[in-house]
């Protein structure tokens, strides 16, 4: 049965912008976000397929496990084709192109001021045309092996993945996105094709275009011409049961650094695929109230000279996992962790004050509004919304409507020092 292209206009009353959600007849979901007055345009073509999707069931119900790092490997190889390298083609249009693999998605992108349609044609064509041979796959093993070793020597990378290993017993989020030298040695052209045709199905992908050249009619015409009709496939990722507990509350490693690094993580017991817009908004306000530069905790740590301007915090969330990280440089990481844990333990009893909540809510709301001034931010958020089942403007509404009781309840659900781990990088 032939499908039809359906376009929906979505208006954001808070910021006065609008975008178009296009369910294209090929099976691809397309988001077009015009930005009047912007000279540049940014396009992002992504698959809901990342490093954590290593075990899945195919259409026959068979469970398949692939080598760690294969999603990242596939991203590298997709730029190559029988008729040349995609980067060389972008060089002729003047577009700046790149790609990335995260825990839960793989995205290919370009940004341009001119020759938009030519650049979009390149993007749509090379992502839909895989080309893998024994020779090229083996060649890439050496290149990615060097990349893995480079990250193994990066203290900022290791402090994070050491933390994930300390927190997660079974979930593949603890595995390095690029895999290991041993795991990528198991990758073959056939395994790459299996993952590609399983996950790079247009029904499992999205295209977001943001900027001055982002016009629905143009994008639909390009999609009609260059997208291949995709049969609906079901590829279901499976994740092992993950205990609420952490593996260990402390892990350390030594590197040639001048000041110790730390990452303190609080693990949330998640029993569903993704958090809601409401939960994400409450978490953002919560963390701003606890650890932003104007917070009591930050001032306490700063006054005791336990942190510097590298201190940061993050809500780390994806398929069946959710954690909060605090990190940075400190000459006494254990003391920092003790103060943060005690502060949060007390806060779980007393609750966040009305004043701190009001300041944090305004700060978060302002930062979220400001993100709409950058093409790449909008494109990335739209992609995340599509793959997580959340709405772009709905999220702003959740921030606007969040209450103090909501955020205090989120505090008690999300931050429990019994399920926290400290990762430290110490000087040699």
* Residues acting as catalytic residues: 75
Whole-number Å distance between alpha carbons of 206 and 28: 6
The 321-329 sheet, strands edge to edge: 250-255, 420-427, 261-267, 321-329, 312-318
The 6-12 sheet, strands edge to edge: 6-12, 17-23, 29-34, 205-211, 41-47, 106-112, 96-101
Query: What does the buried/exposed string (b/e) look like for 44-60 if buried means 16 or more CB atoms within 10 Å of the residue's CB?
Result: bbbbbbbbbbbebeeee
Long-range contacts of 214-217 (CB under 8 A, 24+ apart): 214/32, 214/33, 214/34, 214/35, 214/41, 215/32, 215/34, 216/7, 216/20, 216/22, 216/32
Query: What does the buried/exposed string (b/e) look like for 187-212 if buried means 16 or more CB atoms within 10 Å of the residue's CB?
Result: bebebbeebbebbbbbebbbbbbbbb
Whole-number Å distance between alpha carbons of 71 and 262: 28
**Helix axis angle, 404-414 to 354-370, nearest 10°:** 90
Tally the C-alpha atoms within 13 A of residue 170's C-alpha that lie toward its C-beta: 10
Whole-number Å distance between alpha carbons of 43 and 300: 43
Whole-number Å distance between alpha carbons of 282 and 404: 9
Residue located via tokens 């000459």: 331
């Amino acid at each position: 049965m032939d499908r039809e292209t359906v376009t929906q206009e979505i208006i954001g009353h808070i910021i006065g912008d609008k975008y178009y959600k296009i369910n294209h007849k090929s099976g691809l979901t397309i988001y077009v976000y015009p930005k009047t007055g912007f000279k540049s345009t940014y396009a992002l073509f992504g698959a809901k397929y990342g490093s954590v999707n290593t075990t899945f069931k195919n259409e026959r119900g068979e469970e398949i496990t692939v080598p760690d790092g294969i999603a990242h490997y596939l991203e590298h190889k997709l730029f190559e084709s029988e008729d040349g390298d995609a980067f060389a083609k972008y060089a002729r249009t003047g577009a700046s192109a790149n790609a990335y693999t995260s825990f839960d998605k793989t995205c290919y992108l370009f940004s341009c001021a001119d020759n938009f349609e030519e650049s979009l044609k390149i993007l749509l064509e090379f992502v839909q045309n895989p080309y893998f041979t024994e020779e090229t796959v083996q060649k890439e093993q050496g290149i990615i092996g060097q990349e893995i070793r480079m990250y193994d020597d990066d203290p900022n990378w290791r402090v994070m993945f050491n933390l994930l290993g300390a927190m997660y017993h079974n979930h593949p989020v603890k595995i390095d996105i690029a895999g290991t030298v041993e795991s990528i040695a198991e990758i073959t052209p056939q395994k790459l094709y299996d993952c590609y045709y399983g996950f790079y199905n247009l029904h499992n992908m999205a295209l977001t275009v943001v900027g001055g050249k982002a016009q629905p009619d143009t994008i639909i015409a390009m999609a009609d011409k260059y997208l291949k009709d995709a049969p609906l496939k079901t590829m279901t990722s499976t994740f092992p049961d993950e205990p609420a507990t952490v593996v260990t509350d402390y892990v350390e490693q030594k590197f040639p650094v001048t000041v110790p690094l730390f990452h303190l993580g609080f693990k949330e017991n998640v029993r569903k695929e993704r958090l809601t817009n409401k939960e994400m908004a409450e978490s953002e306000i919560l963390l701003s109230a606890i650890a932003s530069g104007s917070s009591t905790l930050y001032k306490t740590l700063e006054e005791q000279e336990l942190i510097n301007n590298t201190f940061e915090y993050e809500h780390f969330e994806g398929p069946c996992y959710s954690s909060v990280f605090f990190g940075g440089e400190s000459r006494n990481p254990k003391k920092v962790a003790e103060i943060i844990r005690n502060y949060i333990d007390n806060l779980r009893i007393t609750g966040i004050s009305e004043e701190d909540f009001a300041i944090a809510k305004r700060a978060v709301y302002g930062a979220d509004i400001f993100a709409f001034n950058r093409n790449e931010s909008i494109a990335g958020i739209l992609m995340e919304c599509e793959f997580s089942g959340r709405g772009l403007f709905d999220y702003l509404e959740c921030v606007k409507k969040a209450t103090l009781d909501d955020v205090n309840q989120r505090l008690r659900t999300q931050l429990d020092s019994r399920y926290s781990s400290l990762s430290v990088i110490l000087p040699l």
